[in-house]
Amino acid sequence: MWIISSVALSGCKAVEDTNTQTSNQTAKSTSKKLTHDIMLFNFEDGKIPADVKIRNGKTTLTNKESAIDGKHSLLVEVNTKDNSKAGMALRPAKPYDWSMYEDFHLAFDLTNKGTESVQINLTMTDKSGGFYTRGLVVPVGETATYYAKMDGHDQQDPPWATKSEFNFASGFRSNPVTWQSDDRQVFSFWGNKRLDLSGITAISFGQSGLLSDRQFTIDNIRLRPNPEMDENFLAGLIDKFGQNAKVDYPSKIQSDEHLAEVTAAELASLKGEPMADRSRFHGWKNGPRYEATGYFRTQKVEGKWALIDPEGYLYFSTGIDIIRLSNSSTMTGYDFDQNLIPKRTKDMTVAEDDQPLNPAPVEARPTRFVANETRASVFNWLPDYDDELGNHFGYRRETQSGPLKHGETYSFYSANLERKYGETYPESYMDTWRSVTLRRMIDWGYTSLGNWSQQEYYGNNKIPFVAFADIIGDFGTLSSGFDFWHGVPDPYDPRFYVRSVAAAEHVAAQTNGTPWCMGVFMDNEQSFGRQGSDETRYGIVLNTLTRDAAKVHAKAAFTKILKAKYKNISNLNKAWNKNIASWDAFAKGIDAGINTPAQSKDYSDLTYQYGVKYFGTVNKALKSVLPNHLYLGSRLPKWGMPIEIIRAAAENSDIITYNLYEEGLAANEWDFLAEIDAPSLIGEFSFASSDQGHVHPGIVIAADQKDRGVKLKKYLHSIIDNPYFVGAHMFQYMDGPIAGRAYDGENYPTGIVSVTDVPYEHMVNAAKDVHQNLYQRRYGYLLNK
């Protein structure tokens, strides 16, 4: 007999006999596969256990008529009046010990009797502080069982296990289901994929970024054994169109003929005519007119920030990102002799992730080999290079994560464009696609093309666009302690300005000074610091101070700033409670741990100075070659925007930009905008669902395509109604590949069109509804003045 420590809690019913007490050591030595269900909570005794904790809400027990099962279930109601973060958590007095079990999962029943779908972020925390967050959505009026694997299948197996499911080495952000059932697997988000099962301290069912109050009902929280794994759950997953071959749904393309029929019907409906109230540059023709400079600019109008188009009309920028093929390709599992692959050089101005398809050289193709059999088996069709659709292969010389560090790619989206539009001359389907895309964007009411649009769109002269450049090359970098994409630039390094100018010149050559360019993004989602403690918030400063000023420009600059403030090292030692021998010793590198409030204040000041130097350097470089165009900043991610960086960005950018993956501008989280008082823009947001065969719905989950449309409207309205925002761009135009994009494996169906380039009806209708009333909603009050 084996047991789970602390399972017999108030308000729970243990299915197995827990009378026999077994030590952790004995349990681990006799570890065995879980063979039957173990109930943690089913609320049948009519009491809410003390281990149930609530944040910003309340919990009540339902009656029998409202229960999911039995006499009672737990109703969780969360509110957003004071904070958008809420939820229910199970926090046992003594951590759960599940270390004696193998091959099992946590399951629970959920229903939603509210009026809106509710996303739940399931976070499990262990005694060492490690955590793993996964996501799910509960649709309105549906009841289902959800499960999160704890061991076996797609989790790392314990050392004594013999079977392993490669722990995401397949390249998927979240693997497909490994057994078939009516239950719903939760989706992998972030954190430690393998927790310490000997001490689970919390199971949290949380919500964040909510725009309105929600509820859900939960019952039968239990451990269950995993069914036998389908060893071929990945094999043949992707069909020739890039769709899920193992799932059917109403809008799925079934044949080339079916695709042709759908395409013809859409093309017949497109007009490509701007909405009646639009100016030439898609500003508000029916509204007041202001000074026209021939380029886009910003102005505060009656208390609200606004963009002014080149002709002087009020302009609000709505757009869609990634209208290009660069991120449409996925790793095939094949590779070539590396001696025949051209290498990247330090003087390149386009990052590998932003490159076009770039197929491997012809001379390398005879060396093609299977580099990852699991990955290669995912596809039930790939053409030969000399086949009609063989021109949609590509190559990535480096990746951030996934099944291979480099390798062959294929773009099913690009192949589908050729299937849809044909080829009357080399790549004529691309010209047709660009024409169709422009007609769509105008018909749907969008006022701009978002970030990372293909360069060929820059000369369209029908709808404004934004441009982008990575600042890459040979210059120093720093660490914030959380370098999500890469280390942050050292802007004090003179080479950083040189590379910033090179990036600006690259953009200038692409845009050719056109007034249709609304502005330019430089860099994306830099890891400037994390929310939470001072150590994570001021990570750039903390890590830089440990380095040698003789080798790191930022360290030399920080040393100079502090030396000017404190004069004598003894003054700094007193303020920081340190024992640093001299300024020379300080310059060589110190223990930078934070001891005092004064030290935290200095770290805050240095973080701000870093931000001023970074944004100021980039702005100067951009304006040196494009003086008339707006600098749109670097798109600060919600998870990495210390207030010091926000202030610096606002003071050294024309528009400060944020990437916000939540339901919209949630309560009390954006009060700082009034203090900053700068024109702002959302660079990325999205909603996705898994009802079209995708295995991961992304960060913000909708119940289905209809729910996506509802969420799109609410998000945009929250931005339009805010006086500081001048636009919002959705991520992205086409769905991410089911098998994950080549560079980092992201496989979210966040597009407004599918992999077959077919628009999602509910998303299109929602966009049209918002845009019909865009300017009246934003600036209608001016007509009454």
Digit-coded pLDDT (tens) for 17-74: 322 223 333 334 455 789 999 999 999 999 999 999 999 999 999 999 999 999 999 9
Helix (H, G, I), strand (E, B) or coil at 236: coil
Among residues 192, 68, 75, 187, the alpha carbon closest in space to that of 137 is found at 187
Q: Are residues 205 and 79 in the same domain?
A: yes
* Nearest in space to 403 (alpha carbons), one of 103, 700, 158, 737: 737
Phi-psi region of 693 (alpha: psi -120 to 50; beta: other; left: phi over 0): left
For residue 153 the two structure tokens come to 């299948």
The CA distance from 46 to 51, in Å, is 15
- pLDDT, position 222: 98
Question: What is the DSSP secondary-structure string of 274-285?
Answer: --TTB-TTSSBT
The answer as to whether 620 is a domain residue is no
Q: Does any domain span residue 65? A: yes
**Inside any domain, residue 482:** no
Same domain, 217 and 334: no
Dig out the tokens for 511 from the structure: 């845009």
In whole angstroms, give the CA distance from residue 408 to residue 410. Answer: 7
Give yes or no for a contact between 210 and 718, defined as CB atoms under 8 angstroms apart. Answer: no
Rounded Cα distance, 520 and 283, in Å: 19
Of 521, 512, 479, the C-alpha closest to 727 is: 521
Return the structure tokens found at 549.
């000023």
- For residue 455, the model assigns a pLDDT of 95
Q: Which residues of 384-401 are buried (b: 16+ CB within 10 A; e: fewer)?
A: eeeeebebbbbbbbebee
Q: Give the pLDDT score at 473.
A: 93
pTM: 0.93
Does residue 383 fall inside a structural domain? Answer: yes
Domain count, the chain: 2
What is the pLDDT at residue 6?
A: 28
Which residues are within 8 A (CB) of 32 and not within 5 positions of it... i.e. 6 or more apart? Answer: 2, 100, 101, 102
Q: What is the strand order of the sheet 304-308 is part of? A: 297-301, 304-308, 314-315
CA separation (Å) from 700 to 77, 168, 208, 707, 731?
20, 21, 10, 12, 12
- Tell me which of 431, 454, 481 is where a domain ends: 431
In a domain, 485, yes or no: no
- Decide: 335 and 408 in contact? Cβ < 8 Å: yes
Residue 69 is assigned to a structural domain of this protein: yes
Nearest in space to 125 (alpha carbons), one of 189, 200, 222: 200
Which residue type occupies 556? A
Q: Which of 371, 402, 431 is the last residue of a domain?
A: 431
Q: Do 343 and 201 have their domain in common?
A: no
- The residue from 225, 253, 284 where one domain ends is 225
Give the CATH number, domain containing residue 94. Answer: 2.60.120.430
Weakly modelled stretches of the chain, pLDDT under 50:
1-29, 155-167
- Give every CB contact of residue 339 below 8 A, 6+ residues apart in sequence: none
Cα 237 to the center of its chain, rounded Å = 24
Per-residue confidence (pLDDT) for residue 85, from 0 to 100: 84
Please give the pLDDT value at position 80. 82
Q: 36 and 172 share a domain?
A: yes
Q: For residues 7 and 26, give the distance between their C-alpha atoms in angstroms, rounded to a whole number.
A: 18
Both structure tokens of 596: 């005092």
- Whether 41 is covered by a domain: the verdict is yes
Does 203 share its domain with 342? Answer: no
Q: Does residue 601 lie within any of the structural domains?
A: no
732 cis-preceded (ω within 30 degrees of 0): yes
Cα separation, 317 vs 103, whole angstroms = 50
Cα–Cα separations (whole angstroms), residue 484 to 400, 527, 530, 647, 696: 10, 6, 11, 22, 20
Give me the pLDDT at residue 668, please. 81
Domain that holds residue 123: 24-225
State the number of CA atoms in the 13 A half-sphere of 582 facing the CB: 3
Indicate if 55 and 196 belong to the same structural domain: yes
Q: Are strands 636-637 and 656-659 parallel, antiparallel or unpaired?
A: parallel
Place of tokens 């996925």: 330
Q: For residue 192, what pLDDT is reported?
A: 86
* CA-based nearest residue to 328, from 447, 430, 442, 438: 430
Write out the DSSP string of 106-155.
Answer: EEEEEE--SSS-EEEEEEEEETTS-EEEEEEEE-TT-EEEEEEEEESTTS
DSSP for 275-330?
Answer: -TTB-TTSSBTTS-B----SS-EEEEETTEEEEE-TTSBEE-EEEES--SSTTS-E
Contact 178, 188 (CB under 8 A): no
Among residues of the chain, what percentage have pLDDT more than 70?
A: 94
Burial status of residue 512 (CB atoms within 10 A of its CB: 0-12, 13-18, 19 or more): exposed
